[in-house]
């Protein structure tokens, strides 16, 4: 019988994927611990940056964390882009492309990317994306098995379509579904498929 605890959360826009605020420069930042009374030792499995939203898994078990962060588990994102993305740009993302990670060039692994023909039904973001008069936007699905720092944002920028909104909708076989922003569910274990 495991004494570890596991959680699913819909990380809202504007929160950092951490619990302890030990850096003075972050004193005005919102942290996950404000959303729920998590047990001591809880860690986020992977991260979503402050301006990203969606499914985040939390655990007190480091082994579970390592498995989910591994390349064995897919992570899927719905991404709103500045402009109508082209088939050519989607193909470049699928094949892998060069991005910068901490001042070094990095070639992303091949991934799955496709245009979403139906707009996702997410709640409006707390901070407005931008004025529609600034031109069209498009939505794509991107599925990765790696998770470099701000990777999806860097990939869409590299093909000329900067990310306006990024929502992780799936990790393995676990889906965000209708979990509301800020909602937390404790689960017995993560069924990753």
Question: What tokens does 97 get?
Answer: 């492309």
Q: Where are the alpha helices (DSSP H) in 19-172?
A: 62-69, 87-95, 151-158
Q: Is 49 considered catalytic here?
A: yes
Please check whether residue 155 is in contact with residue 143, taking contact to mean a CB–CB distance below 8 angstroms: no
Paired strand residues for 15: 30
Exposed/middle/buried for residue 138 (C-beta within 10 Å: 0-12, 13-18, 19+): middle
Q: What are the catalytic residues? A: 49
């Amino acid at each position: 019988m495991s004494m570890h605890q596991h959680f699913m959360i819909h990380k809202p826009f504007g929160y950092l994927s951490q619990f302890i605020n030990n850096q003075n420069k972050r004193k005005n930042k919102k942290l996950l611990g404000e959303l729920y009374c998590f047990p001591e030792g809880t860690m986020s499995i992977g991260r979503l940056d402050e301006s990203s939203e969606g499914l985040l898994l939390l655990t007190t078990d480091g082994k579970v964390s390592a498995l989910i962060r591994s390349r064995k588990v897919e992570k899927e994102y719905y991404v709103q882009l500045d402009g109508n993305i082209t088939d050519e740009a989607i193909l470049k993302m699928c094949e892998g492309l060069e991005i910068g990670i901490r001042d070094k060039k990095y070639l992303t692994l091949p991934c799955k990317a496709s245009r979403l023909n139906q707009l996702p039904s997410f709640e409006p973001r707390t901070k407005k994306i931008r004025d529609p008069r600034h031109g069209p936007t498009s939505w794509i699905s991107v599925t990765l098995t790696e998770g470099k720092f701000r990777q999806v944002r860097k990939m869409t920028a590299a093909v000329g379509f900067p990310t306006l909104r990024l929502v992780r909708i799936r990790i393995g076989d676990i889906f965000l579904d209708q979990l509301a922003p800020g909602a937390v569910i404790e689960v017995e274990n993560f069924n990753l498929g």
